Structure 1
Amino acid sequence: MNKLLFTFLFCFCCASLIFAQSLKISGRITDAQSKAPLEFANIVLTTADTTFVGGATSNINGDFLVENVVPGDYRLVVSSVGYKTSETVLQGVDEVVNLGSLELEENSVLLDEVTVAASNEKSNSDRKIVFPSDKQKKASSNGIELLKQIALPRLQVNALQRTLSVPGGGEVQLRINGIIATNEEVIALLPEDIIKIEYHDNPGLRYGNAAVVLDYITKRKVSGGNVSVDFTNAVNAVWGEDQLSAKVNHKKSEFSLSYRLATRDFYQMWRENKEKFNFGDGKVINRKEVGQPGHLGMYWQNASMQYNYQPDDKTVMNATFRYFGNEQDHFDYYSDLYFTDRPNDILKLTDKTTASTKRPSLDLYFQKTLPANQLLVVNVVGTYIGSKSGRFYQENQNGSLISDIQNNVDGKKYSIIAESIYEKQMKAGTFSAGLKHSQAFSDNTYTNGKRYVTEMRQADTYAYISFKGKLKNLEYNLGIGGTRAWSFQEGDGDGYETYTFNPRLTLQYNFPSNAYLRLQGSVNNNQPSLSELSAVDQRIDSLQIVRGNPLLQPYTSYQVNLSGEARKGIFTANLWSSYEYRPKAIMDEKFVEGNRIINTFDNQKSWQRLSVETTLKVKPLKDLLQVSATGGVNHYLSDGNTYNHEYTNWFYRGDLSFVYKKVMLAFQIQSNWNWFWGENVYGGENYHLLQAKYNMKNCSIGLGVFNPFSDNYKVVNENWSQHATIKKANYINESSRLVMVQFSWNLSFGRKYASAQKKLQNSDSDSGIVTNSK
């Protein structure tokens, strides 16, 4: 009896001692590169034989705590979307344990079936990586709409035309798994198949002069595929954006097809124009153009066929044929032209323009992952651009022709772009080198009473090396490049050959709490376009002529950007500032020649721009409600050979999105983001948009109103020349209170796996044609 009592008391004391030693395990989860804390990381504690013991989720500071742990041996497993899973072995735990900082490495292997409960993002020195949440995907019908839900800084999403842009008109490069992509191919993406979006807001040297690069990383099927349609059409005007897409997968091959048709047919288009011509000999002419309803009729189509073959996880081969066609049947203006000094002397003005563009291209791509963390990429793109345009312009007074202009242009351009890239991943960072060559040939015929034939050649060779690394919280990216630019115009021997040095440096400091500060400097080369080089006279009206300049030379631009971002709870603040200096910039110039004003181009003294904008994004109800507001200013200094101008433009943008279950409501508004170049003010769009959408399993229906609170839509452009001062406003009445109905549907089938990424994007869209419109 005594022995039994002693045994019981001994076991009770041991058990009491064990339970009294209820321990805690804590730590902080951080990004291995930026050292920034990771929110929403999953922490699982198991015994040595993988029996579950407990778990936790890291908070906004990356901290976690696992409680009620008894002494013993354990495995701590940490996982987060987009990172490699980390495992820590804990032996003989018999006291409170603080593991300090546990670093997670980014996972370069694409994820497959992933569901993200809350939108997650992180920033590196060259890109921002965003993992869209499940709610954001369900609120979107395609890859463009998903960007609107994410609200990336500086990226402007036109929900009406489904286009992407950045302030200042810089190039937005699109990719899908690294492969060159068009807007239409991004629209064809199913949000449910998008794993993450890499937003390169600081592209490296190999991207040339691109402002931003967007790379959609998606799932891929080994069998089956999907078919989808996306239609948006107005009910009170002829306005449409319709697309059909299909994709089929079979083992290691993928075939895809997309076709988009956009239509515009408006009968309430007109322009108003105030002009002052100063011929320098005391002769001054003031004119006022008052528009009457005119006709805008046009449509464009985009088609692409793509074949992708991946024999293994180290090789990617891709071939894409693309076709772009634009038919502008009507761009018809009718106006009354008044003279200030002769108010009763009225001219009837007719200005009609037609245009047609056909642009097929073939893109061939090869990527190979080599031993020892090396990568080789080769890309070749060939493009043909066929352009035809015609302009009919008359000024009529009491049945007598004062001016009769008929211009026709028939243009052909052939180009080839070849590029190769080598990358080497090392312990200290990433080394890369690249070589790119572009060659263009144009053959244009101008007919305007006389016949001019221009044959031009233009080439650009670019080579670079760069290295990306980090020193504790400081990330750096240093690149050095060089450009050889060359052109030749047959007939007069005019041309150029120049060599330019193109360095680029990026420094980013990552603060411990979801914040960073980035400084970037770059030197870029800018070539004159083939149209600017063409020495052809084309009449604009009875007083003006446009003329190219074959003596133009390439010029260098210098840019410094300072940006930063901070996130705290439901708030995200982003600041972006930029200073750009372009000596010898190619800008417009006007001078008097007899009784005509000549509009031409020249290498002017300099152009400068200082821009600052700040964005505040708030998610008061997580992914249910999101509000984004942006405000900023542009200040320009344009110093020409014969002029000097200063211009300031204030602007704002706002987005609101509400998603609840299957319903999505959105409001978007923006003011004019104006660009000043030479002596011209190019006005941006000032619009607002209301949208509502209901999402079902495989389809969605929506209703939208463009400019619901505005009587009219207009874009204002100005020219400040001392010889020809112009202020012009273009109106389209149908663009006000334009009611649209949207329908999307998709059928998806088959299993999915992760595909490799393509690294390059090359294309040519410059037709090389001189335009003579007002």
Structure 2
Amino acid sequence: MSNANGDFVIPCQQKQALMKVSFVGYKTICKLVPIARIGNVKMQANSYLLKGVTVEAARVVEKVDRQIIFPTKEQVKTASNGYDLLDNLSLPTIIVNRAERKVLSLKGGDVQIRINDVKASMQDVLALQPDEVTKVEFINVPGLKYGDSNLDAVINYQVRRRYAGYVGGVSTMQGTKAGFNNSDGYFKYNVKKSEFSINYSFSYRSVEERSYESLGTYHLPTGETLHRNYLGYDSPFLYTTNNVQLGYNLSEPDKYTLNVRLNFYNHNSPVRGMNQLYQESGKANQYLQNNRKMLEQIPSLDIYYSLNMPHDQNLALNLVGTYIGTDYQYRMREYTFNKSPDESVKNAPLTDYSYDATGRKRSLIGEGTYSKNWKQMALSVGGQYNISHTDNIYVGSSNADTELKYSNLYLFTQLQGQQKWFSYQVGVGATRSSIHQGENGYSKWLFRPQVTLQAKASDRLSFKWSSKITSDIPSLSDLSELRQYSNSFEARDGNSGLKPFTGYNNTLSASWNIPLMSVYLEGNWTYYDKPIATSILPEKREDGSYLFVSKPENQKSHDYKHLLLTPEVHLIKDHLDLNLMCEYQNVKTKGLDYSHEFNYFSYGAEIRYMTGNWNIGYGAYKVEKSFWGEKTNGGEPTSNLAVTYSYKNWQFGVLGLFVFYPHGCVYKDELFNKYVQQKNKVRLADQGNMLVFTASFNFSHGRRYHTGSRKLNNSDRDNGIR
């Protein structure tokens, strides 16, 4: 046996000996040699390929800004696309909504999905084959290079492409009660270094039993108190979406990648009713007829280029041009109630607050990043410039032409490294935002430093602390100087005087992993200075009555604290998992004329069993609530059952949505203003206990092909209309 340098001695008294030398990956040598002069032994690499190697390693690896998860064989086998696989992984703080094809954070922020470091579309995730995924990076402390201060997490699939001449697939979901359908298809074909691709997705929703109820108390400056109730009638709701993506990729692995994508997104919502019966003591009942229509069309062109340079350097460039065309119709009429809604609308309306809006937006986003890797350190430097022009024209009860010019420059530098048990990530970003509507607007620099430190107490236990300063800018719709009436009693104004605001975020977390259990504990404190929230004030009209006007304004502060615990127990290794969640929130808000404190405790659980070709899971969560300004917003209840069976390239399944909710899904919110207190409820009755049948088929043929990955991707879908 040789030492580390390959030196060896043959303990033999003979002048010659038969020597046999072997080493993994090289051809075995067997020859007669003189003991005195063996010299250097040269070995030839073996040309055979290993048929398969299985490496048993830790399922979860902790890094300074992320967890790296290696999917098990069962998790891969029982998934048909990227969403299924992500759901099987049961990441802490993450909920996967398979029916709506959304990934949500229990902490309320955004979740960004990437494939090989590139921001991925819904179609990309649906076209992802689980057996292509080598690992999943759960980045729970997103760095400055991601650019979005509202991100709670980034989920990055690391994929080895298996494009064998061509690869494709189709899938569909069909509901049994409400109108519900999701259908998708994709196809990719390669020739030499090129790949051509097409993706298409379609969604359809139709709800008949949808109602909106509002119970309100209004305090007038005169001291009088009014009680106004808006009782909801079942009103129809319908929309369709079509999304087409054409792609071309030219790539030489480890050298360069050119990627061009042409996207077209169409959203058509011809019916979005919200009809109500209005009741007030001492007044005749009224019928409120409300319907909205919207058609949105968004073509975009995305060009990306990446160049790998010597000494582990990379340069990536991305340019995205987008056009957003929006046609919006708002119909709001009040009638004297006469026996029924159909009879009421036969008379002339008492008031008509209807209007039409036409929006046109053009935007251009350019981004570039440079990265350099050393053995224990990595540097990233980059910048992004975003410029857009929005022109929204309102005609009807509201007449206005809101022309907004927006530009945003973002620069960042970030350093990440590791020294034995200690890891760090430090960086600083700077943003210059400029928004103008006519002579009104602002231009302002905002700085965004961020630091993350991780200490490993052992291979199983690690602690992490992250601190960052964030910046948020007003939305385009809030900046529009436009008054819109909800009814004859309430209206909403825009505010071109809004300013960006700053947030200070600190998070301390601990992660403990053993073979049969993992525990994640997180505490967070976030403070926003001068956040944008709604103010409500009574405005006296010429006839002596009052109109309650909502208006976005920069308030004083928003103080948020939360504690989150998510244990995961592997009851039967690789087969049966139980996930638990409990969270406590404390929120204190201070406005120009208000102060509130909210406390909320939520909990939930998921259990999943995977065996052979079967995957069975059930999850139930208490309704999540968020608190902002003077309002609480409740999400939808979660009680979903999923059963799927995989056979070769096919998968069949059934989803049970809102199980044990026979009366449907209910969204609730409350308002605690000193002039207006409201309890609002939106009910979707025909979605309760709904079954959705699913089917998918994937196919491939031909040779293998590796596509270089992207590191940048940008998009724009903010039309600015309200």
Same fold (TM over 0.5): yes
Within 1, Cα distance between the matches of 2:537 and 2:233? 31
The Cα of 1:718 is off from its aligned counterpart by: 1.6
Superposition map of 1:20-59 within 5 A: 49-50=22-23
Candidates 127, 132, 135, aligned match of 1:193: 132
The Cα of 1:449 is off from its aligned counterpart by: 3.1
SS at match of 2:165: strand
Partner of 2:695: 743
Within 1, Cα distance between the matches of 2:398 and 2:207? 34
Within 1, Cα distance between the matches of 2:199 and 2:171? 11
Partner of 1:657: 608
Candidates 313, 317, 326, aligned match of 1:374: 313
The Cα of 1:168 is off from its aligned counterpart by: 4.2
Partner of 1:159: 98
Partner of 1:6: none
The Cα of 1:679 is off from its aligned counterpart by: 1.3
Structure 1 gap ranges (5+): 1-46, 53-110
SS at match of 2:667: strand
Within 2, Cα distance between the matches of 1:112 and 1:252? 26
Within 2, Cα distance between the matches of 1:116 and 1:333? 57
Contact 1:649–1:673 (CA under 8 A) maintained in structure 2: no
What percent identity do the matched residue pairs reach? 27
Matched, 1:284 2:225: yes
Within 2, Cα distance between the matches of 1:186 and 1:467? 30
Say which is worse superposed, 549-558 or 465-474, in terms of deviation: 465-474
Candidates 621, 625, 637, aligned match of 2:588: 637
Matched, 1:558 2:504: yes
Letter in 2 for 1:677: W
Contact 1:271–1:731 (CA under 8 A) maintained in structure 2: yes
Superposition map of 1:104-503 within 5 A: 120-208=59-147, 209=149, 210-221=151-162, 223-339=164-280, 341-342=281-282, 345-397=284-336, 398=338, 399=347, 401-490=349-438, 493-503=439-449
Contact 1:470–1:476 (CA under 8 A) maintained in structure 2: yes
Can you list the C-alpha shifts for 1:510-567, whole angstroms capped at 9, x where unaligned?
1223221110001112111111111111111111111110111111111111112101
SS at match of 1:211: strand
Within 1, Cα distance between the matches of 2:140 and 2:691? 34
Candidates 564, 568, 584, aligned match of 2:514: 568
Partner of 1:97: none
Letter in 1 for 2:642: Q
Within 1, Cα distance between the matches of 2:193 and 2:303? 18
Within 2, Cα distance between the matches of 1:203 and 1:432? 14
Within 1, Cα distance between the matches of 2:469 and 2:57? 39
The Cα of 1:117 is off from its aligned counterpart by: 7.3
Matched, 1:615 2:556: no
The Cα of 1:331 is off from its aligned counterpart by: 1.3
Matched, 1:760 2:712: yes
Contact 1:115–1:134 (CA under 8 A) maintained in structure 2: no
The Cα of 1:303 is off from its aligned counterpart by: 1.9
Within 2, Cα distance between the matches of 1:432 and 1:281? 61
Superposition map of 1:69-108 within 5 A: none
Partner of 2:465: 519
Structure 2 gap ranges (5+): 1-19, 26-49, 339-346, 541-545
Letter in 2 for 1:477: Q
Can you list the C-alpha shifts for 1:540-599, whole angstroms capped at 9, x where unaligned?
111111111011111111111111210122100011221111101111111122121111
Contact 2:163–2:700 (CA under 8 A) maintained in structure 1: no
Letter in 2 for 1:401: P
Partner of 1:599: 550
The Cα of 1:753 is off from its aligned counterpart by: 4.8
Within 2, Cα distance between the matches of 1:223 and 1:396? 64
Can you list the C-alpha shifts for 1:254-304, whole angstroms capped at 9, x where unaligned?
222211111111111112210122231223321112222211111112221
Letter in 2 for 1:751: R
SS at match of 1:345: coil
Partner of 1:719: 671
Considering only aligned residues, what root-mean-square deviation do their CA atoms show, in Å?
Answer: 2.0
Partner of 2:47: none
Partner of 1:694: 645
Candidates 528, 535, 542, aligned match of 1:589: 535
Can you list the C-alpha shifts for 1:126-146, whole angstroms capped at 9, x where unaligned?
222222122111111110010
Within 2, Cα distance between the matches of 1:602 and 1:320? 39
Within 2, Cα distance between the matches of 1:565 and 1:166? 18
| Cα gap change, 1:695 to 1:117, in 2 (>3 Å) | farther
SS at match of 2:285: strand
Contact 1:116–1:132 (CA under 8 A) maintained in structure 2: no
Within 2, Cα distance between the matches of 1:716 and 1:276? 17
| Cα gap change, 1:618 to 1:336, in 2 (>3 Å) | same
| Cα gap change, 1:525 to 1:570, in 2 (>3 Å) | same
Contact 1:221–1:249 (CA under 8 A) maintained in structure 2: no
Within 1, Cα distance between the matches of 2:316 and 2:419? 29
Superposition map of 1:518-537 within 5 A: 518-537=464-483
Letter in 2 for 1:393: M
The Cα of 1:119 is off from its aligned counterpart by: 7.8
Partner of 2:634: 683
Say which is worse superposed, 623-632 or 299-308, in terms of deviation: 299-308
The Cα of 1:223 is off from its aligned counterpart by: 4.1
Partner of 1:708: 659
The Cα of 1:453 is off from its aligned counterpart by: 0.5
SS at match of 2:284: strand
Can you list the C-alpha shifts for 1:221-279, whole angstroms capped at 9, x where unaligned?
45412121111111233111111111112221222221111111111111221012223
Contact 2:658–2:689 (CA under 8 A) maintained in structure 1: yes
Say which is worse superposed, 115-124 or 245-254, in terms of deviation: 115-124
Partner of 2:493: 547
The Cα of 1:470 is off from its aligned counterpart by: 2.0
Within 1, Cα distance between the matches of 2:489 and 2:637? 31
Within 2, Cα distance between the matches of 1:576 and 1:240? 38
Letter in 1 for 2:666: K
SS at match of 2:109: coil
Contact 2:253–2:707 (CA under 8 A) maintained in structure 1: no
Contact 1:429–1:467 (CA under 8 A) maintained in structure 2: yes
Letter in 2 for 1:264: R
Matched, 1:733 2:672: no
